[in-house]
Structure 1
């Protein structure tokens, strides 16, 4: 089934509208895109600032096994973002994936993902909201952000969205055919290297250590200074 695109000049939140349509029974493979988004949301209740000319898109999925899909979805989306951004660059750029699904350009965040799920047993849905700085990075105090325009000619957000859905299809097909291990390896090849010093922030608490890979559920493995390795399920990752 082909993706169905609904493109709006202005929306408050593409994910909010996509969720409304999901609850109303809209079939999957719906892409809701806004050329300007006024109330974008990030993870942990943060706002996503959209200065215009960037990507604001939400994708609707209705998987048969939502729990299994939700485990793989952050990594599938991250890989699709990485490959799409790279495809618009005339030469290889310094893209990097940060656990679980942030896309960095030259060590600065260029794109992020918010995954939400809901519905009843007969209408379970997953909405994947994606924001990417294509034309310009917003000015957010205390944060270092990047835009694709630093390394590529001007990119049409609609064309980027179309290319992104094609990449999502490709990685989902690979996952369906070969399982999560293929996705895990592909993500690791594009991510911060094993041994990279990092900190996990949870509120005002920080746990420092070094990146030791991903386990079979996609949890980040953090090697602590004392030699113990622990799995990380949630938290903000600060690369050192």
Structure 2
């Protein structure tokens, strides 16, 4: 069930036993004219996916969700919603586990970490259909288990809080989204959102490696610019990076 604040704000929930992916279910709802503010949750997925089309393992017991938003903002501002969603995930995980930064941290651009191990991931997609601009935010959270075949360390919420459950996490996440989205929607709202994200940022001030299309790029992670792009101090000077996969230390 969604949280009380989410229900009061008009958000709705549909739950499926198994789907190919919640992102596709949300897109189907959009095609059928759904007005948005819709959470789609599945108990399992047969074709879950992450960024760049990567598969996302989906065993039962974890949270697989997508949030459909219709006309949430100007198209140019839509990428900022990834930071809003990241903060909502951090808030929800903190409430469920009792953890806080820096143990619970956000990795640019789209992961939630516990002790530097991936616990949740985000996928944000925007599209225009029939004159409506829509954003779908996929959020997958390891609650009861973690995958064993990942190229990076992974963790799950029950390691930190054995009482954690999909139900308590979803209620906390849906309410946290309402609060964070409302704050972001205020004039100049990305400034406080950016500051809050940086307070929870993993690897800030550390040497990291970004895997870019042209090859790996290493440097010291110094912050985010006013658009949310990553600021990197490299041996060749400052760099601003729009998108990439972030690693810490040597290239993965």
TM range (shorter): over 0.9
- Report the counterpart of residue 192 of structure 1 in structure 2: 202
Q: Secondary structure at the match of 1:58?
A: strand
Q: Secondary structure at the match of 1:168?
A: helix
Q: Secondary structure at the match of 1:53?
A: coil
Q: Secondary structure at the match of 2:139?
A: strand
- Report the counterpart of residue 146 of structure 2 in structure 1: 137
1:19 Cα deviation after fit = 0.6
Does structure 1 residue 55 correspond to structure 2 residue 63? yes
- Report the counterpart of residue 18 of structure 1 in structure 2: 26
Report the more deviating stretch, 188-197 or 164-173. Answer: 188-197
Q: Secondary structure at the match of 1:34?
A: strand
Contact 2:63/2:142, CA 8 A, preserved across alignment: yes
Matches of 2:214 and 2:68, distance apart in 1: 34
Matches of 2:112 and 2:67, distance apart in 1: 18
- Report the counterpart of residue 117 of structure 1 in structure 2: 126
Does structure 1 residue 83 correspond to structure 2 residue 121? no
Could you list the runs of 5+ residues in structure 2 that have no partner in the other structure? 1-8
Contact 2:22/2:64, CA 8 A, preserved across alignment: yes
- Report the counterpart of residue 5 of structure 2 in structure 1: none
Q: Secondary structure at the match of 1:206?
A: strand
Report the more deviating stretch, 8-17 or 93-102. Answer: 93-102
Contact 1:5/1:33, CA 8 A, preserved across alignment: yes
In the TM superposition, 1:161-176 aligns within 5 A as 161-176=170-185
Contact 2:71/2:132, CA 8 A, preserved across alignment: no
Q: Deviations over 1:42-63 (max 9, x none)?
A: 0011000012100100001112
Compared CA separation, residues 190 and 64, structure 1 to 2 (3 A):
closer
Q: Secondary structure at the match of 2:97?
A: coil
Does structure 1 residue 31 correspond to structure 2 residue 39? yes
1:144 Cα deviation after fit = 1.5
Q: Deviations over 1:149-188 (max 9, x none)?
A: 1101232213312221111110111112242110000000
- Report the counterpart of residue 209 of structure 1 in structure 2: 219
Matches of 1:234 and 1:91, distance apart in 2: 28
| Residue 110 of structure 2, aligned match among 91, 101, 123 | 101
| Residue 224 of structure 1, aligned match among 206, 212, 234 | 234
Contact 1:210/1:222, CA 8 A, preserved across alignment: yes
- Report the counterpart of residue 136 of structure 2 in structure 1: 127
Could you list the runs of 5+ residues in structure 1 that have no partner in the other structure? none
TM-score (normalised: structure 2): 0.89
Does structure 1 residue 160 correspond to structure 2 residue 190? no
Contact 1:23/1:123, CA 8 A, preserved across alignment: no
Q: Deviations over 1:106-128 (max 9, x none)?
A: 10111001111113363221110
Count of aligned residue pairs for this structure pair: 239
